[in-house]
Structure formats: C-alpha cells, structure tokens
Amino acid sequence: MSGIEVAALIAACSLLGLVVFLVLKLNPVLNKLDKTVNHVNNSIEIITRDVDNLSIEVEGLLNKTNALVDDINGKVKRTDPLFTAIGDLGLTVSDVNHSTRSLATRVSSIKPARTLGALSVGKAILSRKKK
C-alpha cells in the first residue's frame, strides 16, 4: 500500500468515525424532536376539535344576537313617532311661550285706563257665565 492509499484509508475511517459519532449524538435529539412533533400534532387535533365546538356555540350566539338586534330595531322604529310627537309638542310649547310673552308685552304697553276698561269687561263676562 502506498502512502496515498493509507492516507485515504485513514480519511475514510475518520469520516466513518465522525458519522458514527454524529449519529450517536443526534439520535437522542431526533427522538426528542419526534416526541415533540407528536405532542404538537396531538395538541393541534385537540385544539381543532375545541375550536369546532366553540365555532358552533359562537354561531348560535351570533344568531341570537342578530334576532335581538332585529327586535330592538323594530321597537325603535315603533318609538320614532313618539319622539317626533314629543319634538312637535316642544315646538308648540315654545310657540305658546312666545305668544304669551308677546301678549304680556302688549298688555303692559297698554295705557292704564284701557287696562281698567278691559278688566271691567272681563269681570262682566265672568259674572254672566256664573249666572
């Protein structure tokens, strides 16, 4: 055997030793990795089942919520005329207040003699109604 053949044999043996060493060292790591992957797969299956159950429950809740919102919308539509009437009533009260102020201003601007005459007429009308 020549020197090159011996060197190639030593290199081959060294490479074989390195491969054996790596296999022995990596085998426990690969076993742990395999267990971890199996555990992750089991967890994913469980989570998938739980999510399926939750999605069914969420869908039921969503349907109930939609029904409640539809009911509330219907009731709000029925109360719209009430709030419109309340708004109209507020405007009417404002108009009455404005008219009352205008009347009070006009009455206060009338001369006292006319006021006494108007009061006499008012008393006469009231006394006739009582009879």
Given a cut of 80, is residue 31 above it in pLDDT?
Answer: yes
Task: Please state the three-class secondary structure of the chain as a single string.
Answer: CCHHHHHHHHHHHHHHHHHHHHHHHHHHHHHHHHHHHHHHHHHHHHHHHHHHHHHHHHHHHHHHHHHHHHHHHHHHHHHHHHHHHHHHHHHHHHHHHHHHHHHHHHHHHCCHHHHHHHHHHHHHHHHHHHC
Query: Which pLDDT does position 130 carry in this prediction?
Result: 65
Given a cut of 60, is residue 1 above it in pLDDT?
Answer: yes
The pTM (predicted TM-score) of the whole model is 0.44
Instruction: List the chain domain ranges.
Output: 3-96
**pLDDT (tens digit, 9 = 90+) per residue, 81-129?**
998 999 999 999 999 999 888 888 887 776 655 556 666 777 777 777 6
